[in-house]
Amino acid sequence: MSKQPIIAEQVDVNKKIPCEKSPEEQLAIMEAYTRAFQSTPERFAREVRCLQELYPTLFRRPLADDLILGRVDALPIGFGCVTSVGGVGHYCNFAKLSQLRETLETEAQRERVDALEHFWREHDTRTVYFRQALTDDTLGKFVDVNFPAIATARLSGMYLDYPQLMELGIGGLLQRIDQQQKLAESVKDETAVQLYHAFRDVLGILQQVIDRHIQLAADEMVNCTDTDRCQHLVLLMSELAAIRNDKPATFIQGIELSWLYSLCAGVVNYGRMDDYLGDLLVADLQAGRLTERQAIDCIRSHYRLIEARKTTVNGRVVVGGKGRRNPKNADVYCRLAIQAVEENGDTEPQFTLRIYEGMDTAIWQQALAVIGTGLTYPILYNDDVNIPAVMNAMQVAEAEAEQYVPFGCGEFVLAGRSVGTPNTCMNLLKILNISLSGGIDFWDGKEKSGGVALIQPEQITCFDDVLSNYQRLLDYYIDTTARAQALSYQVMNEQIGFLFTSLLTADCVARGKALLDGGARYLGGTNETYGNTNAADSLTAIKQVIFTEQRYSYMTLIEALKADFEGYDDLKRSLIAATKFGNDDDAADCLAVMQHQYVCNGVRDAAKRVGLDSYLVVIINNQVNTEWGRATSASADGRHKGIYMSNANNPQSGADKNGPTAMLNSLLKLDAKYHAGSVQNIKFSKGLFNTRRPLVEALMHSYFERGGPQLMVSVVGKGELEAAYQHPEKYPNLIVRVGGFSARFVNLDRDVQQEILNRTLND
């Protein structure tokens, strides 16, 4: 490879590239996929046959400046793990199928689409699940925010065992499969034998995908006139040929094998890249096969491929932290990757830095410098808190806990070892409001108590009655969501092996079992909770205003909430003036802590009842805090109906009046050991962050040393968000932290923008 830098021209990835296949070609592929599904009843063989109809066919030509190859289309019908890329299991995205129908030219073609839709209305994986799970008026499908709890079937947050892929390569994996198959045959375990055959088949698909990219590179060579580009295409063909069977021996080989495998598996989070690519990178640098500039350009190209998938709340790349095999080499990748992230300036990957006492301080300073530009990356996770917390919450040894990785908006799983997809969500504020009224949701007037016996409003005599109602209803929704989580795995497992994912998840190969069929080492789930702080502040206000000060009766409060405070302005002002979480005031914080522990412990304790290794709360909040707020009635913290709820466990917008130290002190009281991840957003002005850096660092160090698990830092110019709100055309690239993900401010809904505007700016 030439040592001259290969400068990758920035690609406009703000728009999704339309499918490379024509509408007729897409229709033909989906029909072939459907026939494969219909004609093959056995789930492993069916999955293989369906995947063979998709890959390598759907892999598309590279863009002119791609230094790493691997772009794939997703059709309205296909196979996947998550809704952000296609769908779940054997999926049909009916909205996209309808859009495709409109592009077809003949009635005969449209009738073919109608036939596909008719079949998949009965067989789409999520549809099958919803048919079994949604049996009453208290649990809705994801994301029908009219319900207090929602559920879905998906396989989010799967991190593959990339180190094993680097260590064995395709050939080594095939040898391991052969060994295990012989053992299964010796004990006549037919299900395991079928699984091993399927594993071998999907690796064959991966080899075909590699061959496809060798051919794509050769095709690009035909009209290539740029010497450097031609040279790089020749290199790519050679590197791809090398990984067809052998384990990766160079940095580009490692990137290509892990990336193409990820695309085939349908996973959208990519693990501890510095850990599994660092050794290959350093070997190339030391041998002179790559310069640092060339390595950065390759990382930039790799990350632009992640950005092009537009998964929004996924696309995690994790670097840093304890438990890496070779920290020194890993830090070389980490340093170059931070620079690549800064140069790209994109919203994906969700670049995540695990920090710890004793880490390389140069990397810490480099990270702060990039955050100071306003990029929102890297996201900071504190190993010194999170590793012990994971040990406690998931009940695993330290060596396992060191492999924790956040995915999506911030949920934790163990890389290559566990399942932890959030297939359930609860709105704690809506549940509280229903309990206050004795079972009625004032949003739509419907009964949503699930048959739980609640004390009626006219019988409430003390705050303990209020708390008892709330906890009884919480217990019901915790139990309901736990059963829904377990059912999602049962339904998916009946249809799907998730073969690519199972193959690189411990201990599926060793056990001869698919991921959700007893193969995964740890089968867990997570429950996203929303409205946490609003619910806690509401409890505080009720206790203070209604029962301690006795300024208003409980029935007056209920009538005010039902009327959305119309005619109750004095009561609303009193509720707003009540002590709020986020000011380091125990009068408010103690109820937030009580609620936090009650919900987290209740969800955790439900795991064994439904057959899971773990079931844990995640306090992450993406834009759903705004979406669910639109369908939540007025609350006792003084919030009007339809208004967004506070983000994650952060203080209500504008309620933290005692400065950032007090706000962080309140957050520290919500112990991380009870859950599987939380989000702390903090916003600084550019002036404060960049001109008074020692002060900011001291604040952050104090927070982390005293138990802070995570920070997502936004640095914005004073008035910049307001200007972007008024004149979006002038700020197309302003990136903000929404909740558990970053986005361009101008692409957000107006009420989501308003919620971000109202967050406290530390200036």
Higher model confidence: residue 731 or residue 89? 89
Dihedral angle at the C-alpha atoms of 430, 432, 436, 438, nearest 10 degrees?
A: 70
Question: Does pLDDT of 8 surpass 50?
Answer: no
> What pLDDT does 620 receive?
81
CA distance 311 to 712: 19
Please tell me the least confidently modeled range out of 170-184, 634-648, 652-666. Answer: 652-666
pLDDT category of residue 115 using cuts at 50, 70 and 90: very high
Nearest partner of 98 among 81, 110, 108, 85, judged by Cα: 110
Question: Does pLDDT of 733 surpass 70?
Answer: no
Residue with tokens 């950005």: 307
> What pLDDT does 730 receive?
72
> What pLDDT does 750 receive?
81
Question: Does pLDDT of 152 surpass 50?
Answer: yes
Average pLDDT, the chain: 93
**Which of 228-247 are b and which e, b meaning 16 or more Cβ less than 10 Å from the residue's Cβ?**
ebeebbebbbebbebbbeeb
Ranges of H-type helices in 350-442: 361-371, 383-394, 398-401, 428-436
Nearest partner of 659 among 688, 694, 636, judged by Cα: 688
> What pLDDT does 24 receive?
97
Question: Does pLDDT of 9 surpass 60?
Answer: no
Higher model confidence: residue 732 or residue 212? 212
> What pLDDT does 350 receive?
94
Question: Does pLDDT of 13 surpass 50?
Answer: no
pLDDT, tens digit, 9 for 90 and up, residues 615-643: 999 998 677 888 999 999 999 999 999 99
Question: Does pLDDT of 661 surpass 90?
Answer: no
Judge whether 125 and 153 are in contact, CB under 8 Å. yes
> What pLDDT does 77 receive?
98
Query: Please, what is the angle between helix 463-495 and helix 428-436, to 10°?
Result: 130
> What pLDDT does 137 receive?
83
Question: Does pLDDT of 718 surpass 80?
Answer: no
Per DSSP, 647 falls in state S
Judge whether 284 and 255 are in contact, CB under 8 Å. no
> What pLDDT does 737 receive?
60
- Residues 387-415, mean pLDDT to the nearest whole number: 96
* Partners of 31 in the β-ladder: none
Nearest partner of 475 among 449, 455, 456, judged by Cα: 449
Question: Does pLDDT of 725 surpass 70?
Answer: yes
pLDDT, tens digit, 9 for 90 and up, residues 505-561: 999 999 999 999 999 999 999 999 999 999 999 999 999 999 999 999 999 999 999
Question: Does pLDDT of 754 surpass 90?
Answer: no
pLDDT category of residue 741 using cuts at 50, 70 and 90: low
pLDDT, tens digit, 9 for 90 and up, residues 573-606: 999 999 999 999 999 999 999 999 999 999 999 9
> What pLDDT does 742 receive?
67
Please tell me the least confidently modeled range out of 10-24, 159-173, 369-383. Answer: 10-24
pLDDT category of residue 650 using cuts at 50, 70 and 90: confident
Residues 6+ apart with CB under 8 A from 288: 3
User: What pTM was computed for the model?
Assistant: 0.93
Number of neighbours of residue 205 by Cβ within 10 angstroms: 18
CA distance 631 to 625: 10
pLDDT, tens digit, 9 for 90 and up, residues 466-516: 999 999 999 999 999 999 999 999 999 999 999 999 999 999 999 999 999
> What pLDDT does 761 receive?
61
Question: Does pLDDT of 701 surpass 50?
Answer: yes
Three-class DSSP labels, 195-247: HHHHHHHHHHHHHHHHHHHHHHHHHHHHCCCCHHHHHHHHHHHHHHHHCCCCC
pLDDT, tens digit, 9 for 90 and up, residues 343-365: 999 999 999 999 999 999 999 99
CA distance 516 to 668: 36
> What pLDDT does 16 receive?
55
> What pLDDT does 6 receive?
37
What proportions of the chain, in percent to the nearest 5, are helix, strand and coil?
55, 10, 35
Question: Does pLDDT of 1 surpass 50?
Answer: no
Question: Does pLDDT of 740 surpass 50?
Answer: yes
- Residues 307-335, mean pLDDT to the nearest whole number: 95
Report the SS3 class of residue 730.
helix
